Chains A and B, each alone.
Chain A
């Protein structure tokens, strides 16, 4: 069904699984606020734990969050 590497990847995801998680849409709704908090150096994990948890599990949302950070930094530099 799957090899050892995939099995370990799945186990890590299961270990991080919480009973209540938000989906990609809810994460997206709050992502602009979250990224600004992150850039301000605020404790995002404490302020918005559900978004933080989602970003740890969801590779797609994490990729977009990181790109959003880069976009904001690029415009700050300009």
Chain B
């Protein structure tokens, strides 16, 4: 997501939404039944002379929905909702032609709004974390708890399997795949890993899918199934 200042976004949307007389518009917001509008009516309104009114209606719908979607999040949600709805409205207007009518128009609009909000939350969360830090984040080895009843044979098996798996990772994956995999496993969101690697979330997902397939094939070739290996660690 190209981050825009809330002022810039607000200005663009307000320009579109509130081009009409504000008092008339706000009066309309109280009673225009946006919920009952069909997809065709939404599209016609957003393309037509009543665009400003429809956009104002849509803003209300999106704010309500996004507040509901982010109910479990506590800090800074209200300003995030306002900013993200503004940004989402611009994306919606720019992508109206890609709406295929396979859902309600408002569901499609929510989808864009939710993704915009989560992209921003993830950007904020990882703002000060480098890719290297994410890779190192959960990489450190954790010593196994000392258990007097532990089966030493089982621990030995676990260590051997992990050593073999590390070798598979080194031998099967490219450097790029290893870095992306470790950062993602370290908890960093894919779009933030992607941003730091100069790619995008979709391409990164495909890179990681290829990495998982390579590891799965190697395990199969070595006579190991993920389920069986997991049972050794349960």
Residues of A within 8 A of B (CB): 1-15, 17, 19, 21, 23-25, 28, 30-33, 35-36, 58-60, 63-64, 67-68, 70-75, 77-78
Contacts and interface: CB of A to CB of B under 8 A. Distances in A.
Given A32-B104, A71-B69, A72-B65, 5 more contacts: A4-B158, A14-B219, A32-B102, A68-B114, A74-B65
Interface in B214-234: 215-216, 219, 225-227, 229-230, 233
Nearest to A31: B111
Contacts of A72: 65, 107, 110
Interface string B84-115: 00000000000000000011101110110111
B139 interface: yes
Interface in B194-220: 201-203, 205-206, 209, 212-213, 215-216, 219
Given A1-B182, A4-B142, A14 B202 contact: no
Contacts of A31: 111
Nearest to B161: A7
Nearest to B67: A74
B102 A33 contact: yes
Given A3-B140, A32-B107, A19 B213 contact: yes
Contacts of A33: 102-103
Contact of A36 (B70, B104, B203): B104
B233 A74 contact: no
A31 B118 CA distance: 15
